Amino acid sequence: MPTTLTVRDETPAGGVSNELSLEFLSETITVRDLIRERVYQEVQDHNNRLNDPRPYHGLVQPESYGRTLNGPHAGQARPIDWKKQFEKAVEAFEANGVLILIDDRQAESLDQTFTITPQTSVTFLRLTLLVGG
């Protein structure tokens, strides 16, 4: 029976900007599994609504996303490759561009395991570098 986990994105000021329910086949998963499932779900949701004019708001933005918005296909969404997005998300996590809090404790590595319970709280916090500092 699949296990459901709700994750949310928070801003540095503590506001919630997004919430997403994910399903896992096992109650014990790694941080890598968590990132993979989140990115896969976001990309699938985006690719299933390509005619929807809303922009993609995933954990990490696709490389060609800015060019697509302003280029010859402006206003037309394009399919996104979830594997490339997963690689970018892993890189962002490893570079501390994305922090993951599991029950208010920072995830330390991709191979860190945790058990999903009804009380498990997972928060993604995207950090942005300040310019000129």
Q: pLDDT (tens digit, 9 = 90+) per residue, 46-97?
A: 999 888 777 787 899 887 654 444 444 444 568 999 999 999 999 999 999 9
Q: Which two tokens stand for residue 121?
A: 């709280």
Question: For residue 131, what pLDDT is reported?
Answer: 53
Global pTM reads 0.85
Mean pLDDT over the full length of the chain: 86
User: What whole-number distance in Å separates Cα of residue 12 and Cα of residue 78?
Assistant: 30
As a whole number, mean pLDDT of residues 100-124 equals 97
User: What whole-number distance in Å separates Cα of residue 67 and Cα of residue 53?
Assistant: 16
In eight-state DSSP terms, residue 77 is -
Indicate the domain borders of the chain: 3-126
Give the residue, 14 or 69, on which the prediction is more confident. 14
Helix axes 31-47, 82-94, angle to 10 degrees: 140
Specify which residues 7 forms β-bridges with: 20, 122
Q: Whose CA is closest to 77, among 101, 53, 93, 109?
A: 53
Residues in the chain, how many?
Answer: 133
Whole-number Cα distances in Å, 88 to 35, 53, 92, 95, 117: 10, 24, 6, 10, 28
Question: For residue 102, what pLDDT is reported?
Answer: 98
CATH of 3-126, one of 2.60.40, 3.10.20, 3.30.1360, 3.10.450: 3.10.20
Question: For residue 15, what pLDDT is reported?
Answer: 84
